[in-house]
Structure 1
């Protein structure tokens, strides 16, 4: 293929090609489960604490934003993990992460200072999933339909 790199060890090309769909599914699964884990308490656990956070951060009405972000993270995360409506689910998650980047930008880059490093990383992962779709190991592929 003209766009493939020339490998130092050409014999590894087949291995890389065969593992690519598996690694893409693992990245999608990890991103989705991580998002779902962050959304779960907003919907089913520490809702009051999250409402207080959104109130303090200036997002009004805070209960609305708690539920919206919880649904985006939990529902979108589960869809990404399963590869179900993958691109459709990735879009609101990407918007959510863009807001998170903007929110954390005032703290600089590094996440240990609550900077935008962490949401930027996940936004790039989700952008990759948005562009590539659910892939070979997804419910989208089983259904034979992708957006």
Structure 2
């Protein structure tokens, strides 16, 4: 009885359902843009350059995986931005993230921002940990489970098919 009273008071601070339906939009914008930016960076430098990085990490089929990673980031990022087919595109996107986590970021610990030194020339940063990878994975999982929200291609398609 007391717990339900507490919950009703907490609900007063929650967003109304009509507003909450828009909550996925900022997540989609951040995750989608982040993937597009990384994919575009690989494409503009040439996926062969990323393939060389994968080769030094000992990843098998580095050139093929460089192209596939670039495509996953570009297509997946665009789909997330549009709010389309997120449960489908999130699987290869999560594979890319988990691959990056275990091949590069895990050895550097959790934190993404590490001050190595502060000099008169400015701050020097150390290698990036897996914090941001986990945030991207959390964003993808949230969108895949909770849906892309009202302002999405999926919502438009759903309304047209109804």
- Which TM class, normalised by the smaller chain length? 0.7 to 0.9
Find the counterpart in structure 2 of residue 136 from structure 1.
150
The answer to which structure has the higher helix fraction is 1
Stretches of 4+ moved more than 6 A in 1?
none
DSSP-derived class of the 2:23 partner: helix
Tell me how far apart the structure 1 counterparts of residues 9 and 36 of structure 2 sit (CA, whole Å).
Answer: 38
CA shift at 1:9, angstroms? 7.8
Structure 1 residues 9, 72: closer, same or farther in 2, change over 3 A?
A: closer
TM-score by length of 2: 0.76
TM-score by length of 1: 0.83
- Using the TM superposition, name which of 60-69 and 73-82 deviates more: 60-69
Q: Which runs of 5+ in 2 are unaligned?
A: 114-126
- Asked whether the 8 Å contact 2:23–2:149 carries over to 1, the reply is no
CA shift at 1:51, angstroms? 2.0
How many pairs align?
Answer: 140
Q: Which runs of 5+ in 1 are unaligned?
A: none
- Asked whether the 8 Å contact 1:83–1:138 carries over to 2, the reply is yes
